[in-house]
Amino acid sequence: MTHPVTPAELATLAASDRPFLPVECADLARRASAFVDTGALDRTGPGSYLLLWRDDNSEAWLNTWWEARDTGYHDHQGSCVGVYVLEGTATQEGLPIGGPRRPRRYRAGESFSFPGSGIHRMDHDAGAVTIHVYSPPLRTIGHYEIVEGDLHRTAGAADEGSPVSPRLLRALDSDRYSAAPRSS
């Protein structure tokens, strides 16, 4: 960081008397990037998560991805998210039902948001640096995977990484899944 973010700066940046909308979280993530000097980041190890702030209505994390990382499909148990890419690239996609996967790639300087009611995954390329703003603050994260042919959700701690979802990805990519007959 160019300088430590002071409590006063964060209070001004994230001040709100209500939770933020997804697009507002993306804007907050973009604005928070002004406090980050990516050249000063420690680039050893697989990457890290640094809490920038947490208050009653939002929290922000600076995430470094020195090694490629797939978050697996997960939800934020009602917290929406806005993400800003400072360096590298990251791919985001919702969990599709009844259609093809629709991943969207974001480059440095781009942002996106996702609703708190959704299930998604992110695939970060090696070298990506992102800021994620959640509103309200995360309580838990639900991880999704196929277990014995059924979709299962497992609750996980909000401050731990999500496991990948290899069986769910294979099912979404299979011809059997995409060509399955629809019943009314």
Give residues with Cβ within 8 angstroms of 184, minimum separation 6: none
pLDDT tens-place values along the chain, 184 residues long: 444 556 566 557 777 788 999 999 999 999 999 989 999 999 999 999 999 999 999 999 999 999 999 999 999 999 999 999 999 999 999 999 888 999 999 999 999 999 999 999 999 999 999 999 999 999 999 999 999 999 999 999 988 888 999 999 998 988 544 444 444 4
- pLDDT tens, position by position, 23-44: 999 999 999 999 899 999 999 9
CATH of the domain at 51: 2.60.120.10
Q: Quick one: pLDDT at residue 88? A: 98
Which residues span the domain enclosing 35?
A: 7-178
Classify residue 95: in a domain, yes or no.
Answer: yes
Which one, of 28, 20, 78, lies nearest residue 52 by Cα?
Answer: 28
**The whole model's pTM is what?**
0.87
What is the DSSP code (8-state) at residue 56?
Answer: S
Classify residue 1: in a domain, yes or no.
Answer: no
**What's the number of domains the chain is made of?**
1
Classify residue 128: in a domain, yes or no.
Answer: yes
Q: Quick one: pLDDT at residue 184? A: 40
Classify residue 183: in a domain, yes or no.
Answer: no
- pLDDT tens, position by position, 70-86: 999 999 999 999 999 99
Q: Which two tokens stand for residue 144?
A: 């999704």
In the chain, where does DSSP find H-type helix?
A: 7-14, 22-32, 166-173, 175-178
Classify residue 17: in a domain, yes or no.
Answer: yes
Q: Quick one: pLDDT at residue 180? A: 44
Q: Give bridge partners of residue 118 from the DSSP assignment.
A: none
Classify residue 43: in a domain, yes or no.
Answer: yes
Classify residue 150: in a domain, yes or no.
Answer: yes
Classify residue 2: in a domain, yes or no.
Answer: no
